[in-house]
Homo-oligomer: A and B are copies of this chain.
Amino acid sequence: VKRVLVTGASGFLGRHCLSALILRGYDVHAVSRAVSREAAPGLGSGVQWHHVDLLDARATRDLLESVQPSHLLHLAWYTEHGAFWDSPENIRWLEAGLAMARMFCASSVARRFVGAGTCAEYSWRSGVCVESETLLAPASLYGACKHALHTVLATYSAQTRVSCAWGRLFLLYGPHEDRRRLIPSVARALLAGEPARCTHGNFARDMLYVADAADAFVALLDSDAEGAFNIASGRETRLADAITHVANYLGRPELLRLGALPAREEPDTLLADVRRLQTAVPWTPRHSLFDGLDLTCDWWRRQSAQVAE
């Protein structure tokens, strides 16, 4: 039996992993600090939910002992919009991830650990991030803590029976994204008939539809591949083009205000080389950028309709 414990399972990425895991024959156990009544129904029937605060090491130990997972898909982290870059909560989640990995690897049934990393582990000066080449020099506490967790896990797993892979995420978008982030804030403004004020958007980014990222994580979990893998589309998108597509799809291009906000200090280009992932596992994104954006707009339209009712 392949029994997986998914942390962060009710989150933006985690919720999209559940049905993919069931399809691959996993006995799926999901953990979340609190599953809201509204969110739960759509989240994979056949999933066993556990409500545990992973910052409580004893509760985590009890959870692992009761579930006895062979696979651990560790996605939980502190993700509060804006605050997550530099909050000391990153250190607490690193501590929690270390404790969880240590306890998991000590179990005789443990076989596979896959965790979620970030492009913020890399130095952003390189433009295109390649796992085997790009300097790992996180500028944020978020990147430093994610990087530290992977460094320790990779070294530890090399001396245990548990194999380990690490998926570094770039820019995700899709249903259930935090409403204060780029695509949601633009879509919501336009759906409300209000101007969408943006920066110039002249940034080259790798955008991946969240369900495709979930598929990649599940494919990685279901493989024996070891090490770090960029989880990204491998495509270059100019953010202004993505936003313009959203405005056109929602029929309100006249409300888009590109350049109305000053650009923050961020790299012009932050892209992902995805050859390592594509060589290791049979995965390609199922959604083109425009398909993914259309689905996302449809979802936000339903959300705003529900609110309006």
Contacts and interface: CB of A to CB of B under 8 A. Distances in A.
Contacts of A151: 138, 144, 147-148, 151
Interface residues of A, number: 26
A91 interface: yes
A102 interface: yes
Interface string A76-101: 00000000001010011011001101
A192 interface: no
Interface in A91-140: 91-92, 94-95, 98-99, 101-102, 105-106, 138, 140
A156 interface: yes
Given A141-B155, A144-B151, A102 B98 contact: no
A145 B147 CA distance: 12
A152 B156 contact: no
A159 interface: yes
Nearest to A147: B151
Given A94-B98, A98-B95, A88 B144 contact: no
B94 A159 contact: no
Interface string A261-304: 00000000000000000000000000000000000000000000
A209 B267 CA distance: 47
A149 B151 CA distance: 11
A147 to B, nearest CB: 7
Residue of A91, A95, A155 with highest tally of chain B CB at under 10 A: A155
Contacts of A159: 86, 141
A91 B141 contact: no
B106 A98 contact: no
B138 A145 contact: no
A140 to B, nearest CB: 7
A156 B91 contact: yes
Contacts of A152: 91, 94, 141, 144-145, 148
A8 B305 CA distance: 61
Nearest to A86: B159
Interface in A149-163: 149, 151-152, 154-156, 159
Contacts of A105: 88
A104 to B, nearest CB: 11
Contacts of A86: 159
Given A144-B151, A151-B147, A152-B144, A91 B102 contact: yes
Contacts of A94: 98, 152
15 contacts: A88-B105, A91-B99, A91-B102, A92-B102, A95-B95, A95-B99, A98-B98, A138-B151, A138-B155, A141-B159, A144-B151, A144-B156, A147-B151, A148-B148, A148-B152
